[in-house]
Structure 1
Amino acid sequence: MALAALAFVHAPAPAGPAGEGRSAAPAIPPGDEVPIALLVDVSSGQILHQRNARRRFVPASMTKTMSAYVAFELIEQGRLDPGQVMTIRPETWRAWSGKGSTMWLPADARVTVNDLLMGLMTVSANDAAIVLAEGAAGSVENWAALMNVHARELGMTDSHFANPNGWMDEGRTFTSARDLALLAEAMIRRHPEKFRRYIGNENFTYNDVTQGNHDPLIGRVRGAEGIKTGFTNEAGFGFLGTVRRGAQRLVLVTAGVDRGDARDGWARRYVEWGFSAFERRRLFDAGEEVAQARVQGGSARRVTLVADRPVEVSVPRGRAGEMTLSVRYDGPLRAPVAAGSRVATLRIEVPGMDEARIPLFAGEPVGIAGPLDRIVNAFARWLG
């Protein structure tokens, strides 16, 4: 890793009293009630709180989030179409009709991918997950293989999927809070339109049967966008959700909770704590120069480093201190450098918090040095 291209201390403006203009911040979930908890500010890349975030657990129906993500990827690639019609196999209907949460697909169902995704993510339909897997990949096993390929691509190193819906399988399907947060962020960033369409709906009607979403935040917490609850006797109660207020979006994960009311109540208090216990500070606008990186053998000696989104940071309210910013990259960079290519990382350290890492991109192209460029660069080096 190259010597930091930027290293300085950003002195924050004085913070107002904790809770100023807001209600007092509730406590974070206690470990005896919520053994696995993670709250991430995905807009700044910061972990606001974590407990056992890398501990593997059985995700139950939160597994369906990965099935939805795989479907979104296939749609984006043109390999799956929301209007595509799938037919339920007789053996699938016999195995899954009325089994756990369901959208009550009839034995002769011809159902669109659009309806399957709605059923999957709104009413947690186990039958929809199986029909989607078999229709899109040929078998549950093939679909699970796709799930694992995409999980590896996202860096979900604590996860493995053996089925598309999270039904009990003796622990062969497992994940971690950290991995689910990665999945949620990828779904939001890569597929924002599909996320808005299929995630967070309050209810879904299929074949004249209307069912509600069990999400504990939708309609109760301002800015709640939903994602997925989960429950089996094996897994206990879990939740993966996101809440957006303005430019800030928090993703929360809870798992291993004994009671549904405890999961729901703590999910609401947890996310409100995330918004109330911290204050936001904007450091850079999207596209604003953050730093410069050295370039070797290029038509220019340096390239501007920019972020593709506003760089904001959450700082605990009422906590004095300074934040330290640094930029790291493998360098000097070698020409050519394409504009928009990811070439560096901005690291933000706030006292008492985990380091935040923001990707930085080349603000302009740098070509390979020509004869005149090499002369100018050599003269510039001689001048120091």
Structure 2
Amino acid sequence: MKFRFTPKSSPVRLATIALVTAAFGLAFAQTPAPAPSPAAPAPAITEIPPAPVPAGKAWVIMDYTTGQVLAGENYNERLEPASITKVMTSYVVAAEIANGKVKRDDPVMMSERAWREGGAATDGSYSGFPVNQTAPLEAMEKGMAVQSGNDAAIALAEHVAGSEEAFASLMNAYAERLGMKDSHFVNAHGLSAPEHYSTAYDLALLGRAMIRDYPETYAYNKIKEFKVGAMNPQPNRNLLLWRDPSVDGIKTGHHSGAGYCLMSSAQRGDQRLIAVVMGSTSEKQRASDSLALLNWGFRFYETHRLYDVGTAIATQRVWKGKSKQVQLGVATPLLVSVPRDRYDALKPAMEVPKQLVAPITKGQALGMVKVTLDGKVVAEAPLVAVDAVEEGGFFRRLWDAFWMWWDSD
């Protein structure tokens, strides 16, 4: 890929480009065309078929690396997330562990409230930890992730924040930090409650953050069964763990108000996708639809790393500096998800001010790089200075000031 510059080019540069273009045109004109191959392969199909539409209220499939939505419907509609809520609970607990507030080996009490509101006497799923007894925090987390234990979720919330209500405030604070603009939590388990809602898109963002920020905790979601005390082992409700070895999480959810929900993630090679299905009609349906979405995404899309941090992707003229040029790069890796076999159709362009003036600090934002496909922006990032450019001496500044004036409109 070659850059297209938005600032005006100088007459000398335009003349040079014209000469080079003419030379290449002459060279191609004098080269005889190769004979067509008698067995030439059919051209690749570039048009992507529509994604399989799941049964239910809302769905989305997202590329993990870029956060790009590949397809979806109603994915910004606020719905009850059911037990997918527990992914938010897991994220908060993992964040508090990382911040040194709690530890994985902390003894966590199964309080009477946690047992009464989320235990065996309720209609929801439970882990079975004995009431008024403690268990290691890590075991409670597995009981919540694998068994979808409502009792374990409440116990963890009480341990981390003192009460489930205080923990819900933490959930909302972390959700805001993650950019989950259409989510609000009032409990740690996901049973139906007024003002407890999220969206398919927000939940995909949450799953992406969970995988990226706390992979050790995320790994609990691929455990196929978990046993508490003398109880029989309880299986993970994510049927995809048995159907496809590339699936390694993440969480199911169900109650009468939410229907059947599933957030799933799979990795094949270097590519990872996240699918969220909400309000499906059955346990089997949500699994089948989610796998169909993942298969579609892997079949028709691929992820590319366009530019790395610290690598110069362009050079721009600098005025009044010790150096006459500055190298431009990106502050974070620039990645993009595109239809397979369309990488060569990407068109990057750079937008920078016509005149850059020293001093320039390392990492200073100086413009934008935008990558388009078929005229649509598919990735963009700030352009920053790879290295600093110090201010030049008096005569350099005076000389450049004259030429800047001369070159101005």
Q: Same fold (TM over 0.5)?
A: yes
Listed one character per residue, the Cα deviations across residues 327-348 of structure 1 (whole Å, up to 9, x for unaligned) are: 5689979977465x88876543
5 Å-filtered alignment, 1:35-46, equals 35-46=57-68
Q: Is the 8 A contact 1:70 1:147 kept in 2?
A: yes
Counterpart in 2 of 1:10? none
5 Å-filtered alignment, 1:100-115, equals 100-115=124-139
Listed one character per residue, the Cα deviations across residues 79-126 of structure 1 (whole Å, up to 9, x for unaligned) are: 111111111222332332213111101123211111111111111110
How far apart, in 2, do the equivalents of 1:380 and 1:332 lie? 11
* SS of structure 1 residue aligned to 2:238: coil
1:175 corresponds, among 198, 203, 206, to: 198
Read off the aligned partner of 1:120 and give its amino acid letter. M
1:322 paired to 2:349 = no
Flag the 1:71–1:380 CA change in 2: closer, same or farther, 3 A.
farther
* SS of structure 2 residue aligned to 1:226: strand
Read off the aligned partner of 2:204 and give its amino acid letter. A
1:57 paired to 2:84 = no
How far apart, in 2, do the equivalents of 1:373 and 1:113 lie? 63
1:249 corresponds, among 272, 279, 283, to: 272
Read off the aligned partner of 2:91 and give its amino acid letter. Y
Flag the 1:254–1:91 CA change in 2: closer, same or farther, 3 A.
closer
TM-score by length of 2: 0.76
Root-mean-square deviation over aligned CA pairs: 3.7
Counterpart in 2 of 1:156? 180
Q: Is the 8 A contact 1:6 1:291 kept in 2?
A: no
Flag the 1:342–1:136 CA change in 2: closer, same or farther, 3 A.
farther
Query: RCO higher in 1 or 2 (8 Å CA, sep ≥ 6)?
Result: 1
Count of residues in Structure 1 that have an aligned counterpart in Structure 2: 363
- Which structure has greater helix proportion? 2
2:168 corresponds, among 130, 144, 169, to: 144
1:131 paired to 2:158 = no
Q: Is the 8 A contact 1:44 1:358 kept in 2?
A: no
Q: Is the 8 A contact 2:271 2:302 kept in 1?
A: no
Give aligned-pair identity as a percent: 28
Flag the 1:190–1:379 CA change in 2: closer, same or farther, 3 A.
farther
Question: What is the deviation of 1:356?
Answer: 3.4
Flag the 1:332–1:45 CA change in 2: closer, same or farther, 3 A.
farther
Runs of 5+ in structure 2 lacking a partner? 7-40, 405-409
5 Å-filtered alignment, 1:1-384, equals 17-18=44-45, 28-30=51-53, 33-98=55-120, 99=122, 100-170=124-194, 172-196=195-219, 198-209=220-231, 210-284=233-307, 287-291=310-314, 302=326, 304-306=328-330, 308-309=332-333, 311-315=335-339, 322-326=345-349, 337=361, 346-351=369-374, 355-357=377-379, 359=381, 362=384, 364=386, 366=388, 369=390, 372=392, 376=396, 379=399
Listed one character per residue, the Cα deviations across residues 257-285 of structure 1 (whole Å, up to 9, x for unaligned) are: 12222111111111001111235555345
Question: What is the deviation of 1:232?
Answer: 0.5
TM-score by length of 1: 0.80
Flag the 1:5–1:324 CA change in 2: closer, same or farther, 3 A.
closer
How far apart, in 1, do the equivalents of 2:60 and 2:185 lie? 21
Counterpart in 2 of 1:22? none
Question: Which piece of structure 1 moves more, 296-305 or 241-250?
Answer: 296-305
* SS of structure 2 residue aligned to 1:145: helix
How far apart, in 1, do the equivalents of 2:285 and 2:107 lie? 40
How far apart, in 2, do the equivalents of 1:334 and 1:123 lie? 60
